[in-house]
Structure 1
């Protein structure tokens, strides 16, 4: 297990669709473990392989540490509710920037496990929001594209400004 470097907005890889996973092997399990370690270090509650520059349809989500992480391979939304919910969202690729996004409140997702078994389940609440957010990323849609143009531009400027801000020196 290793912490991998996270690519940062506006890296073009964040706008590219990931390819389906076809080999369910030790390399895939290692990638999932690395994603979990990287997500914890970021910190975050969800991460995709594209966040570390690997265009494969793999995401790890951990909303409740007591329940543990969930891994979704080749996830796709097969149904979504008409009822929506608003939730603050951000990205490990754009740390420190959070905006409210409106999405369907409930979804049904089809995905595969790390061993290749196909499953389908319904999700509500924060899990539903997180799944939609990460599946968008796997489809090459960075979360800020869900914002109005004005909010998207403002978020990008705030992030750019945060990168240019001087960092305090640590005292050893």
Structure 2
């Protein structure tokens, strides 16, 4: 693939039913060479698998590390938030130990999908704005209001770090619609895990 950042083979995506997706991920301590190298693998995986975000557990590491690339998302009518203004030009961006300090009262319901739930989509209601705290790969600490696709993607990826997938946030009716597909995917994932150890 052109413009690969890392030189190692990409790990396979972990899919619904894999226990790692239900674990609370461990915080990242120091930003070591190993962390930077793994972040490069994550960026390549996100691009290769055609995602706008990826959390470390989705490729087999239970670490509080996400990569996001929402800069190409169609902007809404609202002005860009400080988070978007700072991070969009740097994307794809690595967020280390990201956390949501607060969330706005206004919500929006938008269809979401997930690389770990291939082919499954559903309407998820989330706060439209958040205050995000994280460290960047260069060690810079950020604490910024975020909105738009960046806020939604950050919430989705941070959920992964807490063992939550987007289908957990569907309405009862929305979950009922995708439940057969989830059960089939979980069954396939468990079969694959058994086969590959």
Common fold by TM > 0.5:
yes
Kept in 2: contact 1:88–1:99 (CA 8 A): yes
Kept in 2: contact 1:45–1:63 (CA 8 A): yes
2:86 matches 1:86: no
Please give the secondary structure, in 2, of the residue aligned with 1:74. strand
Deviation string 1:54-100 (CA, Å, 9 cap, x unpaired) is: 00000000012584301110000001100001111111111111111
Which of 7, 11, 22 aligns to 1:4? It is 11
Greater share of helix: 2
Return closer, same or farther for 1:156/1:52 CA change in 2, 3 Å cut-off. Answer: farther
**TM-score, normalised with respect to structure 1:** 0.87
**TM-score, normalised with respect to structure 2:** 0.77
Distance in 1, matches of 2:148 and 2:37, equals 29
**Aligned-residue CA RMSD in angstroms?**
1.9
In structure 2, stretches of 5+ residues that fail to align are 1-5, 73-87, 189-197
2:154 matches 1:131: yes
2:58 matches 1:51: yes
Greater share of strand: 1
In structure 1, stretches of 5+ residues that fail to align are 165-172
Distance in 1, matches of 2:162 and 2:102, equals 16
Kept in 2: contact 1:79–1:107 (CA 8 A): yes
Please give the secondary structure, in 2, of the residue aligned with 1:130. helix
Q: Partner of 1:167 in structure 2?
A: none
Q: Partner of 2:38 in structure 1?
A: 31
Kept in 1: contact 2:131–2:146 (CA 8 A): yes
Which of 117, 130, 139 aligns to 1:107? It is 130
Which of 159, 163, 178 aligns to 1:140? It is 163
**1-10 or 31-40, which deviates more:** 1-10
Q: Partner of 1:13 in structure 2?
A: 20
Distance in 2, matches of 1:20 and 1:38, equals 21
Q: Partner of 1:71 in structure 2?
A: 94
2:49 matches 1:42: yes
Kept in 2: contact 1:87–1:129 (CA 8 A): no
Distance in 1, matches of 2:173 and 2:33, equals 44
Please give the secondary structure, in 2, of the residue aligned with 1:27. helix
